[in-house]
């Protein structure tokens, strides 16, 4: 489990902490989970059905950044509790954006109680770059009143920038045979 840090320029209302982790990886799926404590005022986008959509980060959205070693290209995957999603390839930091092909749609589920929310996603492994990868978990969290906070493994600037390679602090390796 990795703790995400809220960008200090955009504090949350009630959210106290957020964690993210890989919960499974096999030849079919990469399974990831985000856990939010203090979810009492969390805005959860309405169910919209599966499908690609842009601008998911304008409200509560969970993101994953993946970068092969030794290069500038990387992948951004956006996942919404609405079940909308998108995946993009970048040739360098915020450059050369194009929609990344996916063999099938990711699966997303959101569970929210009075104080805790859990967002699980399964991303088709065939749609990922070859392993190993540098990885960054991020999230945009909207709370009632239009307050948005920006969460990442690390922040290095005065404004939130999930595309900063300094945010890609975890390693994702190929599964080992047991």
- Closest by alpha carbon to 64, among 7, 17, 20? 20
CA distance 46 to 142: 13
- Closest by alpha carbon to 148, among 50, 7, 30? 7
Residues forming beta bridges with residue 159, ordered by sequence position: none
Give pLDDT, residue 62: 98
Write down the pTM of the prediction. 0.95
Compute and round to an integer the Cα radius of gyration of the chain.
15
Assign a CATH topology to domain 2-58+77-172. Answer: Immunoglobulin-like (2.60.40)
**Domain limits of the chain?**
2-58+77-172
CA distance 129 to 82: 25
SS3 127: helix
The tens digit of pLDDT for each residue in 118-153 reads: 999 999 999 999 999 999 999 999 999 999 999 999
């Amino acid at each position: 489990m990795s703790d995400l840090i809220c960008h200090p320029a955009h504090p949350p209302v009630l959210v106290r902490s957020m964690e993210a982790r890989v919960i499974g990886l096999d030849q079919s799926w990469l399974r990831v989970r985000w856990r939010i404590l203090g979810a009492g005022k969390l805005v959860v986008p309405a169910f919209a059905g599966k499908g690609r959509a842009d601008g998911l980060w304008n409200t509560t959205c969970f993101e994953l950044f993946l970068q092969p070693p030794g290069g500038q290209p990387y992948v951004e995957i956006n996942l919404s509790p609405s079940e909308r999603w998108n995946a993009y390839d970048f040739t360098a930091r915020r450059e050369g954006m194009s929609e990344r092909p996916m063999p099938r749609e990711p699966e997303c589920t959101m569970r929210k109680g009075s104080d805790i929310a859990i967002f699980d996603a399964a991303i088709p492994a065939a749609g990922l770059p070859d392993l190993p990868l540098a990885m960054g978990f991020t999230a945009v969290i909207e709370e009632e009143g239009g307050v948005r906070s920006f969460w990442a493994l690390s922040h290095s600037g005065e404004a939130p920038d999930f595309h900063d390679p300094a945010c890609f602090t975890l390693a994702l390796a190929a599964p080992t045979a047991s």
